[in-house]
Chains A and B, each alone.
Chain A
């Protein structure tokens, strides 16, 4: 499905009486990066785009948007966040109109060598072409693709009301694999300690990782609690480590691996390694993956008498 057809499809959605708003993507001001956009009428929908540059997980905005019925454009990984939110009764499935996009993987813009101002990324076969101001740069797929896409188990949204494209357009899913994490575990404790000390000493405590996470939605966050103060707000390697460990533990069995935290970190802290580690532990212990359906149960909030400790 090309962009014009996608827009036509979205226009049909926005014409419906029960849908007030569609959350989708549009071009950023400079014309390269894509950003979130909120479409309220057919004219707005003209701005809609979808390309390998649409990297953001739009389900974060459900934290802020409280409208009647929201149409939301999701890829496979974003859809898992949505379903997890439904499982946790944060949003109601009937209040969502899930507009799925079969995903072929997104690019990590940090891996593009030049820093393009205008232009686009076009995918053809297993190659990406970065077009910017008339110049073309060719990349192999593995060179540009985001790390999370290499381990994607659901490129096609697991649940959708409308699909922009054919299910066969999505790339092939892979089986859950944690090879990268297992490799890290082989390192000695000393080595790992040094690695994370260095990473956490960079943290500026901007809390973008927390704010961007679709599943971090507590109204009263323990970070903001002053009595008792669990974590100091000032930035120091120990407190930063504690903050991240606490954040990741709160996401155990809930994190769907959209890796927005890693993408937004301005200091390049490899947060994905922490979230994936917890994901791996939960998967191995309970054979559970988060956000695989509306009806699933939260693994750490469920108890079965037959459980063997």
Chain B
């Protein structure tokens, strides 16, 4: 395990930029993930949109043809710097869902992730309720932990040669400080979500509750875009007429959208990642963890 001094960050990033297209969080009105040019990444704040927006661009060239079909597989070597552990965990869902999608696989193979652990989780975050942790290293190639004056670097993949720059060896004291931060972060995770209700929620398909919840929704596209693990497949609201504007919001969209994020799809485990970006930016203060909570209430009422 290594230590990266904060002064050495700039040098390390230029070292990475030589080999990869580095995406990192920068502040441009809001926190966005952009190809890093000469600016300094802002690692302290959470991003508005998950890294899925980079792995699945809104539009991309899939093939071209003149006389012959020419398939364009993405070749860029992408490095995501400073994504949060929950973001990295969300890739597990894509890995299982898109296991035979050549475009996804090509991009995934060329993808490296340097995650940054959450020292102070957001007030609404709940990754510990869904098997994650603010210090989870799942799917990450390196995990950085901010120790104040330096970053503690966990090396987790075999591609260390490509990633490790001019680092110092970590000492026991650094390790101790990291453990302390981890304990404190997990303790600070205030919000708990009861995920045992998954199966029961599926039975609630025809519940009047959805009507009430759907009333509030304005059918915009923020939540399918901003929730890390919602894919085009799962955000069926786009297909079922949710975006068909001017018609009353169908109460079906809500269970469709919310149950799908929870339900097992194609046999994959369907873990939620405990991210709350969408909690922060839903314009109508309707959130999928609301739905979990509301489900709770209903189950209580129905004595299921």
Contacts and interface: CB of A to CB of B under 8 A. Distances in A.
Interface string B211-233: 01001101111100110000000
Interface stretch (A12-20, A244-252, A262-270, A278-286): A262-270
Contact of B246 (A117, A219, A260): A219
A263 B283 contact: yes
Given A29-B290, A204-B225, A264-B283, A210 B58 contact: no
A33 B219 CA distance: 20
16 contacts: A28-B285, A28-B290, A29-B294, A37-B216, A56-B285, A61-B215, A63-B246, A64-B248, A207-B245, A208-B221, A211-B218, A212-B218, A219-B246, A236-B59, A263-B283, A267-B29
B244 interface: yes
B222 A224 contact: no
Give the interface size bracket for B toward A: 35 or more
A202 interface: yes
A116 interface: yes
Contacts of B294: 29
B271 interface: no
Contacts of A211: 218-220, 245
Give the interface size bracket for A toward B: 35 or more
A50 interface: no
B246 A221 contact: yes
A217 interface: yes
A38 B215 contact: yes
With a 10 A CB-CB cut-off, give which of B244, B248, B285, B290 has the most chain A CB atoms. Answer: B285
B212 A202 contact: no
With a 10 A CB-CB cut-off, give which of B191, B212, B243 has the most chain A CB atoms. Answer: B243
Interface of B: 28-30, 32, 48-49, 53, 58-59, 122-124, 190-191, 212, 215-216, 218-222, 225-226, 243-249, 280-281, 283-287, 289-290, 293-294
A267 B32 contact: yes
The dominant DSSP class at the A interface is loop
A64 B222 contact: no
The dominant DSSP class at the B interface is loop
B215 A206 contact: no
A35 interface: yes
B289 to A, nearest CB: 7
A35 B191 contact: no
A115 interface: yes
Given A37-B216, A217-B246, A264-B222, 10 more contacts: A30-B124, A38-B212, A60-B218, A115-B124, A116-B123, A202-B29, A210-B245, A212-B284, A264-B283, A268-B30
Given A212-B283, A268-B30, A117 B190 contact: yes
A267 B124 contact: no
A28 B280 CA distance: 12
Given A35-B285, A64-B249, A264-B283, A208 B222 contact: yes
A214 to B, nearest CB: 11
Contacts of A60: 218
Nearest to A36: B216
A34 interface: yes
A211 B248 CA distance: 11
A211 B219 CA distance: 7
